[in-house]
Amino acid sequence: MTGEVVLKKGIRAMHPQKFGLWLFLISVVMIFISLSSAYVVKKSVGDWVYIDFPQMFNITSVIIILSSISMHYAYLSAKRNNIKSIRIGLAITGVLAVLFVIGQLQAWGELVESGFHFVGNPASSFVYVFSGLHIAHLFGALVFLGVVLTNSFQYKVHSKSMLRIEMCTTFWHFLGGLWLYLYLFLVLNN
């Protein structure tokens, strides 16, 4: 076998845990891709109803973007060893996440009021499945956020110890992007 690079110990592109996180995100992507294609396939079969999306979804979309910004602020603060603003950034992110979840539930209420129930035509069931699964993942991210926040109070998050907060930020941005994709997908394929 010719021409291979001999691996030197310690020089690796990515920490194994971070790498594992990316793999996990790939499997989450597969869940939503498969559901999206199920949606498209179902729609092409016909017998479809059109959904009036609640106004609330626009608001929650803005909230989740804001939470990504505050998360990133916490991350940058950690890089600059700005311990206090790490905590502030993470706390704001947490609050925004809770607001987001409340908003989504509110939106479900609006959907029900306009007659789009979970049980009924799959077109409306899918909306609940998408947003519900997204919330389920967000709960996981919230637990993670809680861990990082606790760490930050124990002075364990700083420029020499970025792994956790980096992973949390990645997960957070991912979930933000995921919601925007889902919403866009639902609106465009309505």
Residue numbers at the binding site for another protein (CB under 8 A): 1-2, 4-20, 23-24, 26-28, 30-31, 34-35, 37-38, 41-42, 45, 47-49, 118-123, 125, 129, 133, 159-163, 166
Q: Give me the least distance between CB of 102 and another protein, in Å please.
A: 23
Q: Give me the least distance between CB of 120 and another protein, in Å please.
A: 7
Query: Measured from the CB atom, is 38 or 62 closer to another protein?
Result: 38
Q: Give me the least distance between CB of 127 and another protein, in Å please.
A: 12
- Rounded to a whole number of angstroms, the CA Rg of the chain reads 20
Query: Measured from the CB atom, is 101 or 133 closer to another protein?
Result: 133
DSSP 118: S
Q: Give me the least distance between CB of 62 and another protein, in Å please.
A: 28
Q: Within 13 Å and on the Cβ side, how many CA atoms surround 179?
A: 28
Under 8 Å between Cβ of 110 and 148: no
CA distance 187 to 167: 30
Residue 163 tokens read as 């792994």
Reference 172, options 45, 66, 80, 43; nearest CA is 66
Residue 37 tokens read as 């294609």
Provide the residue type at 73 as one letter: Y
Query: Measured from the CB atom, is 49 or 187 closer to another protein?
Result: 49
Q: Give me the least distance between CB of 50 and another protein, in Å please.
A: 13
Query: Measured from the CB atom, is 92 or 133 closer to another protein?
Result: 133
Query: Measured from the CB atom, is 45 or 188 closer to another protein?
Result: 45
Residues 6+ apart with CB under 8 A from 13: none
